[in-house]
Each structure stands twice: as structure tokens, then as C-alpha cells.
Structure 1
């Protein structure tokens, strides 16, 4: 056991012969934390060496490459551990174990705690006494036998906060598992299997994490400011357009008979109500985002204040244990598309006055329903239609493809030849098939006719999606799909969570690769079934069709890739 005794000056001179490099682990290049020795005589942190051997096919020394037939039974080398600890204590100031608030708040040196009216600068701090001494009051520690065994370090302010209250050793390590500061004895006894690192490394890593999170908060603030500004501009523009449409409508309709006058009143009322509703919706959204902005700005200020804290102890104690980010809404869920409806109304009113009587009923119906903007959106997406052919090499043995490779259906009897000659690209458990062509840029769209099928799954998958065995239903599976079961929809990645109710006959699939979005539409009603947003794609995406079996009743109808109908 290392003993602090006798001649302090001789001790300091002896330790000056040692360099910090002698106490660095060859793997992590930091001061030893619970060091162990290999049979060949080299020293490492126990966690570093264990992790190294876990990732290597053979057990060998990382330094000299000597191979061991059996993994050595590692035990902490207490001598090296104590030596490294005492070396860190002697060099506490130079090594920056605790940083610059070793000085008083007024910027002066650490003062002697014993001096009376005129306090002198301290030359040493005693870990046992938890007191700082000037050269005069330190003298008993050099003379008295009992005091000679006390541990002296460079002057430290708030010494009692930097020393383990149980073992009177300097708090020089940090446990990542328990988020706690430790002395060397705590680390080697109570936190044996925990991830323990030097305090300065923990400070550096957590400060980097705080900086990254603060940058993310700033980005979120900027995104929300831009979204609010864009929404305000859209509201202003839609308000101007609404006024223009109302004025034009009034001008044309007032020239007609009572039928037209009635339509005029209904048009003005409907447009104003929808504009008011749109403004209220936008106002509610703006209010919510502005509240988020205020919260994010407060969070950013707190993070900035915390990041400027140089006292590692206070920094680590004050570091939030919960999530650094406050809860926020998904900005992509709000789209102010009032202009589409306004353009639709204006198009109707520009028609020939001579045809107005025949169009009045249709016009009022379209104005008073919400399908207009949905129709316009779906029509826009259909411009990105691509030709999809199915790849027979990927089809499950129980699936039958049509000759034109546009249809796929489930067959209760598998082809013996296909079972005996399984293709490595073939799905073996999921009744699925991929498209022959993959897409890795821009936008694309295709439609699938599902008729009255009782169960099916449709979407897009990566080229590396698992083909052999069961595919785990999670957001990391490489498959973005909706699953229809009898009368409801759920996503492949969230089993049991209903996202849409009702049956559909024709489904449109739209993918914005760079925008990270995949959306599914009921083509007949132009209604959105579900959207995956904020996705990150790193591979080509292939259309994915799964006609499923007869678990929910007769389900032998095919899934058919059909061309887009643009009769509207």
C-alpha cells in the first residue's frame, strides 16, 4: 500500500522522475482505470482489455501480440492502481483533474483557512483535514508524526466537495452507469463492472454532447422560425387571394337572377368560413410553435449557461439526467395548403357564364367539401408515375406472378421445382415479392389495385431487406409498408396500432427519396391513408407487394400494378 510519510520534498522529487505516459493505457490512451496485467507483463484498463478480447478471434496481448491459449483471469493490480491514483493526486493541478476554479471567485489565489485577519495564499491542501494551508501553517504537517501521513495536494478551493466523504480520496473518476463522481477506492470496489472513466474524459465527452445538442436546438429554433414566417406569409397571401376571389365572384354573380344571388351568398359565406377556419388553424399552429420556440430558447440558454460552467463537479452534478431536449411537435404534420382550394374555386368561376346554371350545384358541392385540395394533391403526385415490374427471383414459392409481371397472387400449392431450387434472393417466410427496379433519387409513384382482398401488405423496401426467415416488425427492418387486415390499416413497423379505418380498392404509393417521405393514398377518395416522414434512406428502394394468405377468409384475388387514371 502506498504510504504518504516522512519527507514530502523527497516524495515530490521521486515522482518527478515518473512521466504521465507511464500511467496511460495503451488502448484508450487515458490514465489507468482499474488496471490489470497480462502474463506477458503489459498493463491495461480492465474494461479496455476485456472489450479488445471480446472483438478479437484469438486471445493475445494488444502490445506484444503474445497469444494465450486461455483467456487469463484478470484481477485489478492494486499496486499500479494506487500508484496511478497517487500520481494523479500529486499532479492534480498540472493534469487539470479539476480545472481553473481552484482560485477564489474574486480571481485571487486559494487562501489559507487557518490565517486570521490577513489570509495568506495557500501552498498545499490536505485531503484528510479538508483544509488549505499557507507555508507557515503547513509546518506541523512536516513535523508531527501523525500529520506526516496525511495526503497533500496542490491548493484546491472547495476541497470538501472534491473529496470522497467515505474514503477521503480525491474524486477523480466518473461512472457513466450511475452518473456519479468516484474516488479510486469507490471505482475499484463498488463500481467494478461499470463503465468508469477519468473525470476529465467524462467532462470532455459530456461537454461535446452538450455542444452537439445545443447545435441541434439552434437548428430546431431556426426551422421553427422559418416555418412560422412561411406560414404567416401563406396566411397573408391566402387572405389576399380570398378577397380577390370573393370580389370576382360577387362581380359575376350579382349580374344573374335570384338563383345566382343565392349562390353568391353561399359562396361568400363558405369562403369566409373556410378562410377563418384556416386562419384559426394556422393561428393555433403558430401559437404552439411559438411556445415551442420560447421553451427551446430557454433550453438553449440553460445549456449555454451549463456549457460555460468550468467547474467539472458542478457541471456533472447539474447535468440533466433526463432528455436534453424538450418535447416538440413534428413540423411536417402541418401544411397550409389553402391556396389549392382557392385556385380551384377561381377556376370554376372563370368558366363561361352561359354554363353557370348547369355548374351551380357542382360548384357549391366542391366548395363545401374538403376533397378539392386532396384531389389536386393526388393529381400532382401522379405526375411522378413509374413503370413497375415484379421480380420473379424474389417471389416466395407460394406466389404466382402473371406473364406481364404486373400481378401477384397467393397459391395454396407451391411449385415443387421452386421449393427445390430456392433462389438466394427469394423471400422464404413472408409471402412477398419485390419490384425489379430500385430507385435511389428524386420522387416516384405507382398504384396497386387490391380489389376486395381481406389482407395484404404494400410499400417499399431496401435491397438489403431480410429475405430468409421472419422479418422483425420494427422501424429498422428496411421495410416501410402498410398492412391491411379485414377493415383496418396498421404499419408494418407498429403491429396492433390502427392508423386508418375502412376498405380501399386502389392504393397510390408516393416516395420522396431526398425528402424522406413515403405516403399511401386511397385513389378513389384521394384520402391520405398514412405517411412515413423524416426517413433516412441510404440504399435503393424497391416496390414491395405481399398478397398474404387466407387467414382472414378467402384472399386469392391478385394484387395488380395498374396505370394511373387521369380522367379527372
Structure 2
């Protein structure tokens, strides 16, 4: 085979790049006569200030414009063809031997004989009989014959009928030497064995990574199964404890109910007995007084003065009687006192039950333990709120920066009253209204003993008293002494204890208004299922001094700032 004779005259060392020490890929020649891979010499010159030859160190005034040396490229391609083909053939032979298969002659028509050679130009495999013309005919002698190959079409460039010996990393395609020199000049082109070696190494690393991921997930599955079993045990214990606590609580409530009924009945019985005693005593006194009345009437009928004076009783003759001012029946008062005390206790108990239901719902919704995160999420919707002096009640004073409102320093009289001003409620609105969005603001109320805070519609009544109800256009909470209630249900407390800093979150489209104790990051109260049809304005009411000194201001503060 001619290629074999050519290869015998050309050693591999003559076709190695001095930089990468691999067979040339797109070889170029420098003006000094040395040869390198195009990518190797380009990268070398990119890393040094002066372009010079890596071998003889000859420096060039400017970087040479290098072109692929087609002669050396052809020699390299022939060498790679033989090298790659031999490697592929050996690999294929080993595979076929292991599989017990053989490449058959493509020319045989009756019984196909085993092929002894494959022609890269003809893309055909031949047995020893049909191969004979390739050793005799002049044109066929120049064809490249290799060990028998299957699927020759997959190994040959269909455009240039040359062996695919190169791989373009940019386009991820196999190339022949002609393809590399024509359409992949500036691409990163490497030999097939080189790419094969690197890809196998990469696959090895990937496989190791995948195996590590598998082991990590297997361990995670084991840990999770253990956690599930622990959770089952803990859950059974929690259920048992919770049911036990609630059962005991129900039993205590039932016991208290029985005791309450017994106490009320005993109080009623004692009151009735006391009243019966008073009634019997007064009935006896009435009888005695009636007897005395009869005697007095008889004496009044005596006409003889001497006899009259002799028979006239002294003042002590009147029977002893009880002081009526000290006699009273207080049975109803005691019962009402018990009822009032019970009502307050039941209200507090209902609030606690409501909080417990809220916590249970939070567990169900998956938000338990995330109050701080929930509040921080709402704080992202912070808006800059300033007060509108034109809406302020005359008894209120607005600070110069319109961030504070207080009671008691205003004149109480305004010559230019307008329709926007509150004249009954001690209120003021924010300057800006909000449509179809979420917004949040915080208010510092400090030690005030009374205040109201929330939002109001643009059409909220300002010159008459507001009647609580879903259509009054006001959604606020009101603090008095030590408890918070909603404006719509002022007799039902929704929170107990003082709050110094309140966060107000409004979800216009979601129909929800929520109030938070910022310091403890807990929910105070929420209006839900609201229907908003107009602009909403922040609403502030510092209230008066009816329940004690209450001159402290309500202050609009930015998120994160502590007063």
C-alpha cells in the first residue's frame, strides 16, 4: 500500500508541534522556517509582549500573518489517517472478535465472503478476489486501503471523501482535514483521539460526580426515613399530650360551669332566705303595728280628759321595729356581678381560643415559625405616608414634617372649615390614597392610653359621627387602656396588652387589612374578605384625654427605625 511506503519515509517526530508536542493541527510556518499548530503559536504570542519564534527566538517587528501550510497539512492528514484508522481498526477488530462478527465483502452476490480490505475512496469492503483490481489498475492503486471496516459512510467526510480525523469544539462536529482548512479556520480544532481522550476523562469525572450525587441522595433518603419515624413517634406524643390538655381543659370548664351554677343557685337561695327573714320580721312588725293602731284609735275615742291622760301611752309604748334603711335585697346585684365577671373571662378565653385556632391554621398553611419572615415580606411594600392637614380636626396639631399628629394643642376653631375636614372624630387622613395594590406603613404610638389606626375610603363621613358597620368606609383598630378592639365591634377585644409600634398592611386586591405588633412580630388583627371600590387613605385618630393624659403624638416612622 503506497501510504505505508510514504509513512515509512516520514517519522512521527517530524510532524509534532514543538509547543503542544502533538501531531500538527492546522500547521503554519513562521518566517524563520519553523512549524507550529495555528492555535499553539497564536496563544504563545498572545502571552508575550514581542512576537518571536519559540524555537530559535528570532523576533519579528510585527506579528506575522500566518496561513495554513497545505503541504505539511496534507502530510499530517495522511499520517493521522493511518494512525487513526489503525487505532479504529484495532479497536473494531477487537470488538468484532469479541462479538464473533466479521465484515463481509460488498461485491459478492451469491455467498458473501469475508472482507480483507476496505477502500476509503470507494467506501466499499472487498474480499481477496474482488480486491485484485486495486492492485492492478493504475487509478485504483492510489486508493487508500485499510483493514476491513463496517459503516464506512460514518467515518468518511461525504463532501470531500476523506477520513474524519478532526473534531471542532466550537461547532461540535467531526471534520476531515479539508473541512478544517476551509470552513473552520478560526475554530478550536483538535484531533479525534485527543478529543476522545479528553471526553472520556470528562465522562469519568462526570460519572464520579453522578456516583457521589447518588450516594448523597441515598444517605439523604436514609436520614429522611429515620426522621419520618422519629416524627411519627413525636407526633403521637404531641397528639396524646394535646388531646390530654384539651380534655383536661374541657373538664375544668365543665367543672367550673357546675360550680358556677351551684354558686349562683346558692347565692339565690341565700338571698331568698334572707328576704324571707326580712319579710317574716316585717310581717310581725305589721301585726304589732296594727294592734297598736287599734289601741290608739280606742284612746282617741275617750272624751274624758282625765281618763284620756291617765290611759295615754308614753312614746315607748310604740313596738320595737327594724330600721328600713338598712334592709335591702341584693341578690340580683351579686348575680349581675358574677355575670359581668364571667362575660369578661369568657371573652378572654375566646380570644385565646381564637389565637390557638390561628396557630393551628398557620401549621396547616405551613406558615408556622415564619411570623418574622412574613412581616419582613410585608415591610417590602412600605410607602411614604405624610398627613394631610386639610383633613385634620381643629383640635389636632400636625408637625411641620407632617409625620406626627397629637391632641390638645390645636385651637379647636377654624375659620376656613372645608368639606375634607373631620369635625366630629378627632381624625386626620394621609395625603396619598392607594388603588389596587399592596402597601404598608408603621406608626409609633408609645405610651398613649387611647388611639385609633387604620384606613378609610375617600368618601368616609367627616362631619357626622360614624356608625360602625361594613359600609361606613372605615377599617381601624382602637386601643383603650390595655386592650384592642375593632371599630366595627368595639365591645369585643381582639388583643390584650399595650403595643408601642403598629404595622399596617393593606392588600387592596386581596381584600385584607392586617395590623402587626412590630416589636413582637405578631399579628394583632386582620379584616378579611373586604370589598374595596375606591381609594384607601391611611387614617389616624390620637383620641382625647377622657381616660387620662393622652397628649403623646402618633408618629409615622420608617421601617427599621426605633423611636
TM-score, reference length from structure 1: 0.45
Which one has a larger percent helix, Structure 1 or Structure 2?
2
TM-score, reference length from structure 2: 0.45
